[in-house]
Structure 1
Amino acid sequence: MLHTSDWHLGQSFFTKTRKDEHQAFLSWLVEQVATQGVDLVIVAGDIFDTSTPPSYAREMYNQFIVQLQQTGCQLLVLGGNHDSVSVLNESRQLLAQLNTQVIASTALPADQQVVEVHNRQGEVAALVCAIPFVRPKDVLQSQAGESGLQKRQALGEAISAHYHDIYQRAVDKKQQLGQDIPILATGHLTALGVSTSDSVRDIYIGTLEGFAADGFPPADYIALGHIHRPQKVAKQDHIRYSGSPIPLSFDELGTRKQVVLVEFEQGRRVSVDTLQVPLFQPMAVHTGTLEQLAESLQVYANASQTVWLSIEVENQDYLSDLQSRIQTLTEPLNADVLQLRRARNPRREALTRQSKESLHELTPTEVFDKRLDMEVFEGDEERQRKARIRMQFKQVLSATQNPEEAS
């Protein structure tokens, strides 16, 4: 079984299209499926970057499915928080004829969320609890008068109950088949105890900020999506995020991209390996003074492929012509500067500006607001994220100051 997720087909990256990168990845993926003899590919959500993907992204998705079927491999596609349920469902019945199961939402009947995996002889070789991104309305009815903490607990319990319900159906089906086969599970959410990256847009499932790993059922492998950094959950080798196949933000460059390859024999997991995904588009981050940048950027003078750059300038003096200076530095290079920013002032300087204030004179909200103001939130999406963070803090503060209401 090969586990991948968070393709984000159709993404625009600082006005640059990722079409060529995604096409290169999908071609590479088909090659790996054929070479490794993969029987099942799981895509754990966020196939598309937006709910209205461009036509070329839909075409790329459909072409991949056609090419994959030439290998004899089965495909399971799960909906993510970026995916439109209607967009994924519009071709669901057609793709079922191409050995592809699409589970766009948990609104499907529960029995349809247990997917059979067949081997090359047509026999059932595994069962998958195919759970996509969970929308609150599909698993929970909100109750009037509930506190924020009660809503979080109720939603977490509802998601866990849904997982265990689907898992029990898989167990029952396994017993009916009378075969020793593995049971897998999927998910597209934030599990507690993982590290995120700048490109991960916060999932707020109602008021649930994270799902505890002990809420998962005892499946033989749990394929997760949404977090772009590949990692294990709760130090469990069989609960994993595969991560995104291409860097979706500059801060992801420090982590090698991968897909996860899991092998089963006689119903038991025998190995969990990773395959590193090539970097199809050169990208780099450079930080330093203008003098240091002038020297370090020379490595791109004879680059064979255009490099996308994020540059952070550390000059202490404010330079009104910073953009033109960087443009002059990079003009003779085979490089495009996609992100240019000034190094933020040290946090200590921000605190010094308010040295007349002592901590005991400030309310918790004032302390939090001052700390939040030290971060940079650019663009409408980031400002909305800032508002959500502030709202979440208010909920936590309220629960702390009024424990009798939260209990």
Structure 2
Amino acid sequence: MRILHSSDWHLGQHFMGKTRQAEHQAFTTWLIEQCAAHAVDALIIAGDIFDTGAPPSYARELYNEFIVALRATGTQLVVLGGNHDSVAMLGESRSLLTHLNTRVIPSVTRDLNEQLLVLQDRAGNPAAVLCAIPFIRPRDVMSSQAGQSAQDKQLSLQEAIHDHYQQLYSLAEQRRDELGGALPIIATGHLTTVGASASESVREIYVGALEAFPTSAFPPAAYIALGHIHRPQKVGGLEHIRYSGSPIPLSFDEAKQSKEVLLVEFHGRALHSIQALAVPRSQALVSVRGNLEELQSAITSAAEQGTPEQTVWLEVCVSGDDYLSDLQSRIQAMTEGLPVEVLRIRRERGMAKASLQGSAKETLDELSTDEVFAQRLSSETLEADLQQRLQGLYRQVVSELQEGDE
């Protein structure tokens, strides 16, 4: 049995005024080629197929075109809903897509058997049992109780998610025994685990939300295919629990990462091998930093990756001279005639000096929502418990807004 593990495509992402359509098109074309070349039995996308709950029409078209093209390779597809995905939108085509060898699990189901899938090999024989677990929203697995503290809610949610995994895994063991007992059990998930290394493009799952799920709470599946964290990595150093990461860099701090999908092979019940397939980069993203003198050479060096037809997308982080008010015009002069596009200019200062009213006059375009909140909070002198409470309230508001987008 051979699967490909991918996640966090974020189709339709609007990146600082730029569309990622061409990059996603190049990736999906390449991925179909890999499924054919490696005779992949099943492709698992572990959440966040789309960037928002209401993606642009070209993103939906790309999704549908990919499913149709993949069918010709003989590879079956499993799509799990992520925290960015709309449950309703993913679910609306679910029945239709079953006729194209695709199964979609938008959210946790009342009947756990609907999340238990038997994956077949290319000959049509049962080859693996899949615990298909999408992003778990608190309301999917628990009821709100009056008077619970934030810590109590965290513990209750962690226990509820643990129970969901264990119940589904028990069903998977029963199903495996019914099928002869020689099949591997695979599980999925879309969540943050303890110790996972994230990036600035990861909009966290705020709760009521679970901050991090311990690896010890996962069932003993042969392989656990995770999504939500964009940096590919093993979890807790364990070979069989993996984040595949996003296939394209979704923020500048991911620009130097090697993006990949994971080719996972099983022999009988056991995990046999995992091979990382590097995703080709179709759009150069470069982040340069330094004072104005250092930036000139750094920008010139970055421009070597671009052409007039395919420019480099550039982030410029200014240190030392970040107090200047005419940074934008100075950077523009440095890039004149070079095949680069400056998408963001950032002034680098220590958080202790950071202030929304600072002398550098940062604009909102230079800051993420989390950075605005963090800087505003740092400007106040507050007790630690009050700061923690405000951070919790902020996370709750973000969570409610994200759920409202769905």
Cα distance in structure 2, aligned partners of 1:82 and 1:236: 27
- Rg larger in 1 or in 2? 1
Under a length normalisation based on structure 2, what TM-score does the superposition of the two structures give?
0.86
Matched, 1:378 2:383: no
Matched, 1:71 2:76: no
Alignment match, 1:16 = 18
Alignment match, 1:309 = 314
Alignment match, 1:360 = none
Alignment match, 2:399 = none
Query: Which of the residues 320, 338, 344 maps onto 2:343?
Result: 338
User: RCO higher in 1 or 2 (8 Å CA, sep ≥ 6)?
Assistant: 2
Residues 385/134 of structure 1: CA separation in 2 closer, same or farther (3 Å cut): farther
Alignment match, 1:5 = 7
Alignment match, 2:328 = 323
Alignment match, 1:210 = 212
Opposite residue 131 of structure 1, the aligned amino acid is I
Opposite residue 306 of structure 2, the aligned amino acid is A
Q: Note the C-alpha offset of 1:37.
A: 0.9
> 1:302–1:333: 8 Å Cα contact kept in structure 2?
no
Under a length normalisation based on structure 1, what TM-score does the superposition of the two structures give?
0.86
Query: Which of the residues 261, 270, 273 maps onto 1:271?
Result: 273
Residues 35/387 of structure 1: CA separation in 2 closer, same or farther (3 Å cut): farther
Opposite residue 389 of structure 2, the aligned amino acid is K
User: 1:382-401 to 2 correspondence within 5 Å?
Assistant: 382-383=371-372, 393-394=388-389
Query: Which of the residues 57, 70, 77 maps onto 2:59?
Result: 57
> 1:197–1:229: 8 Å Cα contact kept in structure 2?
yes
Q: Note the C-alpha offset of 1:267.
A: 2.6
Cα distance in structure 1, aligned partners of 2:148 and 2:210: 14
> 1:377–1:383: 8 Å Cα contact kept in structure 2?
no
Q: Note the C-alpha offset of 1:293.
A: 1.7
Opposite residue 211 of structure 1, the aligned amino acid is F
Opposite residue 313 of structure 1, the aligned amino acid is V
Q: Note the C-alpha offset of 1:220.
A: 0.4
Alignment match, 1:101 = 103
Opposite residue 228 of structure 1, the aligned amino acid is H
> 1:148–1:395: 8 Å Cα contact kept in structure 2?
no
Opposite residue 245 of structure 1, the aligned amino acid is P
Deviations 1:145-188 (A, max 9, x none): 22222221111001000001011111001111124000000000
Alignment match, 1:194 = 196
Identity of aligned residues (%): 53
Residues 246/103 of structure 1: CA separation in 2 closer, same or farther (3 Å cut): same
- Corresponding residue pairs, total: 372
Opposite residue 324 of structure 1, the aligned amino acid is S
Cα distance in structure 2, aligned partners of 1:193 and 1:27: 33
Deviations 1:87-109 (A, max 9, x none): 00011000000110000000342
Residues 384/312 of structure 1: CA separation in 2 closer, same or farther (3 Å cut): closer
